[in-house]
Amino acid sequence: MSDLIQGKTSQWEIVIGLETHAQIISKAKLFSAAKVGFGDEPNTNVSFIDAALPGVLPVPNKFCLQQAIKTGLALNGHINLISYFDRKHYFYPDSPFGYQITQFYKPIMENGYFIIELANGNKKTIKINRLHIEADAGKLLHDHHPKKSFVDLNRVGTGLMEIVTEPDFRNKEEVADYITKLRVMLKSLGVCDGNMEEGNLRCDINISVRKPGEQFRNRVEVKNVNSVKFIKEAIEYEVNEQINIWENGGEVKQQTKLFNAEKGTTYTLRTKEEAADYRYVREPDILPIVFTKLEVDELKSQIGELPEDKKERYINDFALNKDDATLLAYDNDNSMFFEQAVANNVHKNPKAIASFLITNLFALLNANNLPISKSKITPTMLANLIDLIEDKTISSKIAKEVFEKMWVSGKNAADIVKDDGLIQITDVLEIENVVLQIINNNKDKVAEIKAGKDKLLGWFVGQIMQQTKGKANPDLVNKLLKKHILG
């Protein structure tokens, strides 16, 4: 797929950079001891610091900074052992201090990169300009009163990481893959829950278009877009609009816009001329933020295998297909379950485990509306079940039945197989007896098969399985049928 768009007069290249705000997972806020919570009673998770009372002083929460450093390391960035907080001034009721505490001049991390996957399967490196830490704002509620807005300060001061890319994206699919993969990585690191609906992960998209080979043209920033679908829609709309303006002799003004999710359009919030003068200045209430290399190394050692690496390993070492590998690797609980099962599987057949897990366990979890962490069947139980198939104790058909019984009873596969007499019949003579009996009783059908109606062979298999209650080894059944019917 070419990244160039054919307009009326020219081809156009899309240029996109992304600023992603990720709410840091922590118990307390970034600068106060108030609780971080979603959906609590309004103005109950607020300290005097969050409400910016006179005389209060922010004290940074070390854990929030450690979370950001972990993320910075996972983004392959350079961690600044000394960084600073700055004040960004703006007046709004969601910002009690009249400024946001952020890192403007020297962020905690710079110069990282992140690898995305293109539609053709190739990889592309997206440069990460910086990751900085800042305090979130409160919320305004507009629907309570016709003439008034209500202020809820609960979210004020919650820790945020802002991850800023270079303008390296050339189409909306790249952006979508970036945000999807980034979200998975943040969740896997335990630094952000990735919940886009609640706004815990949201994007500002910087979009411009240019003719190939040109310098950058004016860009439009679409703020606070909070789903992958909306991000794609916003880009789609904005790109068309910009190309239209340029091709009709107009000029795209540098501006800040918002996305209207209902209409799938963007609209202007403020133009460059109206842009706030943020008057960035060092936050004098907080000393320089100092970490030692030892502390950073310790944090680095806490980072486990990242989802992308895990996925590659599942494909390369376990021979999983890409979809299965993605499904398991992108979720910490899934991959933990899977890998524990693999570890307990005597016959070492990860592919069989993955396939069984995805087909059967996920179905049961879905039906019971349970997360995998609450599964009644443990990884070891699954591993043992797969071993029973592998060593031909049961057939895979029986395995499914056993699995359902395990879920209901909580019993081990081996016990169920034994108690219910489900052990596969692998004795040739025993199966041959059944086979011969069925053949003798159905001579007419044998004749039809011999005349070329091969499909009837399946009917015979069914009959034999019925007779043996599904326990006959299918390979043997097939082999013996062919031997006695086709000679």
Decide: is 222 part of the binding site for other proteins (CB under 8 A). Answer: no
Per-residue CA distances from 134 to 5, 31, 117, 163, 205 (Å): 37, 10, 30, 11, 18
Q: Min. distance of Cβ 392 from other proteins in angstroms?
A: 53
Residues 375-404 that bind other proteins (CB under 8 A): none
Sign of CA dihedral 35, 39, 43, 44: negative
Pair 178, 18: CB distance under 8 Å? yes
Binding mask 143-182 for other proteins (x = CB under 8 A): -xxxxxxxxxx-----------------------------
Tell me: does residue 31 bind other proteins (CB under 8 A). yes
How many residues belong to the site for other proteins (CB under 8 A)? 66
> Using CB under 8 A, which of 6, 10, 11, 27 touches other proteins?
27
**What is the strand order of the sheet 281-282 is part of?**
99-102, 86-89, 281-282
Nearer to other proteins, 61 or 375 (CB): 61
Applying CB under 8 A, does 89 fall inside the site for other proteins? yes
Distances in Å between the Cα of 294 and the Cα atoms of 16, 112, 301 are 37, 20, 11
Which of 19, 285, 404, 430 contacts other proteins by CB under 8 A? 285
Interface segment toward other proteins; rule CB under 8 A; list 46-54, 201-209, 397-405, 479-487? 46-54
CA-closest candidate to residue 475, choices 441, 435, 426? 426
H helices of 391-427, in order, are 396-409, 413-419
Q: Do strands 4-6 and 123-135 pair parallel, antiparallel, or not at all (unpaired)? A: unpaired
- How far apart are CB 85 and other proteins at their closest, in Å? 10
| 44 counts as binding other proteins under rule CB under 8 A | yes
Q: Which of 94, 74, 26 is nearest to 306 (CA)?
A: 74
Q: Residue 326's Cα: distance from chain center in Å?
A: 9
CA torsion through residues 31, 32, 37, 42, sign: negative
**Measured from the CB atom, is 259 or 403 closer to other proteins?**
259
- Pick one of 58, 72, 194, 379: the residue that binds other proteins (CB under 8 A): 58
For the segment 108-147, give every residue that binds other proteins (CB under 8 A).
140-142, 144-147
| Interface residue with other proteins, options 279, 392, 418, 482 (CB under 8 A) | 279
Per-position b or e across 316-338, b if 16+ CB within 10 A of its CB = eebebeeebbbbbbbbbebbebb
Decide whether 48 or 316 has the Cβ nearer to other proteins: 48
- How many Å apart are CA 375 and CA 386, to the nearest integer? 17
At its nearest, how many Å lie between other proteins and the CB of residue 273? Answer: 12
Number of other residues whose CB lies within 10 A of the CB of residue 416: 22
Segment contacting other proteins (CB under 8 A): 11-19, 29-37, 302-310, 365-373? 29-37
Whether 208 contacts 171, CB under 8 Å: no
Taking the complex as a whole, the smallest distance from the CB of residue 31 to other proteins amounts, in Å, to: 8
Q: Does 452 bind other proteins (CB under 8 A)?
A: no
Q: Which stretch binds other proteins (CB under 8 A): 87-95, 353-361, 440-448, 472-480?
A: 87-95
Choose which of 52, 364, 457, 485 interacts with other proteins (CB under 8 A): 52
CB of 138 vs other proteins, minimal distance in Å: 9
- The length of the chain is 487
Contact criterion met (CB below 8 Å) for 109 and 80: yes
Nearest approach, Cβ of residue 40 and other proteins (Å): 10
277 lies in the site for other proteins, by CB under 8 A: yes
Binding of residue 96 to other proteins (CB under 8 A): yes
The answer to whether 103 touches 84, Cβ cutoff 8 Å, is: yes
- Compute the least distance from the CB of residue 192 to other proteins, in Å: 15
Using the rule CB under 8 A, is 34 a contact of other proteins?
yes
Q: Is 113 helix (H, G, I), strand (E, B) or coil?
A: strand
- Residue 87 binding other proteins, by CB under 8 A: yes
Please identify which residue in the block is written with the tokens 């320089």.
Answer: 288
Helices (H), 283-442: 293-302, 307-318, 322-329, 332-343, 350-356, 362-368, 379-390, 396-409, 413-419, 428-441
In the bound complex, what is the minimum distance in angstroms from residue 186's beta carbon to other proteins?
18
- Of the pair 275, 346, the CB lying nearest other proteins is at 275
To other proteins, the closest distance from the beta carbon of 32 in angstroms equals 8
Residue (277 or 454) nearer to other proteins, CB:
277
261 binds other proteins (CB under 8 A): no
Binding site for other proteins (CB under 8 A): 26-28, 31-35, 41-48, 51-64, 87, 89, 91-93, 96-99, 140-142, 144-153, 258, 269, 277, 279-282, 284-290
